[in-house]
Amino acid sequence: MAENIFIELSLIVILTTALAGIFRFLRQPIIIAYIAAGIILSPHFLNIVTAHDAVGAFSQFGIAFLLFMVGLNLNPQIVRDVGKISLITGLGQIFFTSVIGFGFAKIFGFNNVEAIYIAIALTFSSTIVIMKLLSDKKDLESVYGRISVGFLIVQDIVAMLILMVVSSTAGGTGIVETILISTVKGILLISGVFFISHYILPPVIRRMANQQELLVLFCVAWCFALAGAFYMFGFSIEIGALLAGISLSSSSYRYEISARIKTLRDFFILMFFVFLGTQMEFGSFQEHILPIIAFSAFILIGNPLIVMIIMGVMGYTKRTGFLAGLTVAQISEFSLILTALGVKMGHLDPKILSFVTIVGLITIGGSTYFIMYGKKIYHLISRYLTVFERKDKKKDEHRYITHSDYDVLIIGYNHVGSTLAKTISKMNKKFLVLDYNPETIIKLAQQKVECRYGDVEDADIFEDINFKKIKMVISSVKDFNINISLIQRIRELQPDCIIMVVSENINDALQLYEEGASYVIMPHFLGGHHTSTILEAHGFEIKKFMSEKIKHLEELKA
């Protein structure tokens, strides 16, 4: 039995790797390759996967790891900052989508019970898909990424409550009683997690920090323990894993934990998407062809419009609203679970499950492209989206600006950007920091450092900056395509500007020079050069190296 499972898992990994390579070559999102692998392996085609329990268990591990890492990178202060907009957007989108969806269902001839199930199923977006895509794009720290995570959590909570209410109708438990019991259990569990994370975890983490393997093993155990505990008390594994990560988000070791668990997450999340593909049903496709097209179009276009309208009314920019809206352009795994539960309880015909599943496949595939290429799509249609934002000051336009002209523009306030900013400050040159992380901008503003929130891929940003006086642009962003686009744009605005960009690849560095970069910063080469300089200066004198150590420690702490 174990050998059979091993062979099946091996085939899954081999086929998925082959498809991922093909999709990568075609510049397509890798998630689509994962789902496609699941469909090929399903009973509809090769029918290779028979160990559904094993693959399903692996997929649960992937969900737990993904949500744990999302929680690990959630700063409680930022959660509070976007909590209001996330709550209003999440609940508003659920309400309007379900009402409009119910109307559509009735138009296509579904009865009241079917229409209610379908309308509710349409409201939930896939947390797993979106978290993976935002993580791959490194957009989880952006304003729209944080807001999206917030209203996805709101959706998941509502989805769990609905699942509990539907389940209670079979056991005879009253709806009010079910909600009351779940609320009390939730408060007690969260209070327990809060107490442990503040008074027990910090000293335990400090003791284990000296043994990296033990530290990672403990964090994995903590993730699974909370995920399992929440599941046993009637909640989802996702919420428990997310809270496990949040409870460690204030730890100074969170980056190291995240880096070591990332590989585990990537492998197990592969199993989730493959498993999702194997569960796809394609029955009664022809019978529901028109409703499938209509509902898929509504989710892909209507849901983003609803989010954009709500966020525009709340005072956010059209760009933030557009990018956040794209994250709700698909249905969730909760949608399939809810519909399957309705079939199991006799409320729905199995054809409805097939119908919802096909809509899910279409919208997950379509929204994956929307999210991956959202910024490019925005550039093409941004002038038509002005109607979705207010004319007064926007809530997501964080900035601290006292000048109108600057000598230097620093893009990205990471290790490279912050170090160069200190040098430029010593040169008595005026500089402006542009960063897409709102937390970074808030801290810089508190320190009276000239800064503004913005994404270098947003063309509107460059219209607000006076490039006539800027003599130098320094980009500490490592993305090759972004730096190529940046060089081209700067050269159009200011041909004589000095442009410095970062690269970690020799071939990329050569191409950046060809495009017009004045200097390409390569951290690994500079690190080796700096170390060689220290070695030449100090030789084998231990006291001088200790002096360097003390200075380096002070810089790291700062």
In whole angstroms, how large is the CA radius of gyration of the chain? 26
Q: Which amino acid is at 84?
A: K
CA pair distance 153, 155, nearest whole angstrom: 5
Residue 394 pLDDT more than 80?
Answer: no
Note the pLDDT of residue 79.
58
* Domain edges within the chain: 2-388, 399-521
- pLDDT (tens digit, 9 = 90+) per residue, 83-136? 788 888 889 999 999 999 999 999 998 999 889 999 998 898 887 778 778 887
Q: For the whole model, what pTM was predicted?
A: 0.73
Mean pLDDT of the chain: 82
pLDDT of residue 513: 92
Q: Does the domain at residues 399-521 carry the CATH identifier 3.30.1490.270?
A: no
- Two tokens at 296? 């898929």
Q: How many CA atoms lie within 13 A of 359 on its CB side?
A: 35
pLDDT value for 511: 92
Which of 160-164, 166-170, 423-427 shows the lowest mean pLDDT across its residues?
A: 166-170
pLDDT for residue 20: 87
Determine which helix (DSSP H) or strand (DSSP E) holds 453, and give its type and residue range: strand 451-453
pLDDT value at residue 283: 61
Q: What is the pLDDT of residues 250-275, one digit of tens each?
A: 777 777 787 788 888 888 888 877 87
Question: What is the pLDDT confidence band of residue 213, given thresholds at 50, 70 and 90?
Answer: confident
Look at residue 195 and tell me whether its pLDDT is greater than 70. yes
Whether the Cβ atoms of residue 280 and residue 361 lie closer than 8 Å to each other? yes
Class for domain 2-388, per CATH? mainly alpha
Alpha-carbon gap, residue 104 to 154, rounded angstroms: 24
The answer, yes or no, to whether residue 78 has pLDDT greater than 60, is no
Query: Which tokens is 200 given?
Result: 């027990």
